[in-house]
């Protein structure tokens, strides 16, 4: 699963963690919403990442975590 992290003050990096905990960066973004949109697209939202609403990404992510328990 792709996620994004704030890697610097004005930089959000999209990537994933390997099972051994290694961070694997995929792309960098100066805007957290663009990073969230990229994550949604990479995780199979089926939407062009520019057309995806970041609040919907967060809602789906939180719902997926709730569904696991």
pLDDT the model gives residue 6: 93
Residue pair 24/17 in contact (Cβ under 8 Å)? The answer is: yes
CB burial of residue 7 (10 Å; 0-12, 13-18, 19+): middle
Task: Summarize the confidence of residues 3-9 as an average pLDDT.
Answer: 93
The pLDDT of residue 39: 94
The number of angstroms, rounded, from the C-alpha of 53 to the middle of its chain's C-alpha atoms is 12
pLDDT in tens, 24-39: 999 999 999 999 999 9
Side-by-side strand order, sheet with 3-8: 3-8, 11-17, 23-29
pTM: 0.66
Rounded CA-CA distance 19/22 in Å is 7
């Amino acid at each position: 699963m792709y996620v994004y992290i704030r890697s610097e003050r004005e930089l959000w990096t999209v990537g994933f963690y390997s099972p051994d905990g290694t961070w694997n960066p995929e792309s960098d973004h100066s805007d957290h919403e663009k990073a969230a949109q990229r994550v949604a697209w990479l995780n199979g939202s089926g939407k062009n990442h520019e057309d995806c609403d970041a609040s919907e990404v967060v809602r789906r992510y939180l719902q997926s975590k709730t569904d696991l328990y």
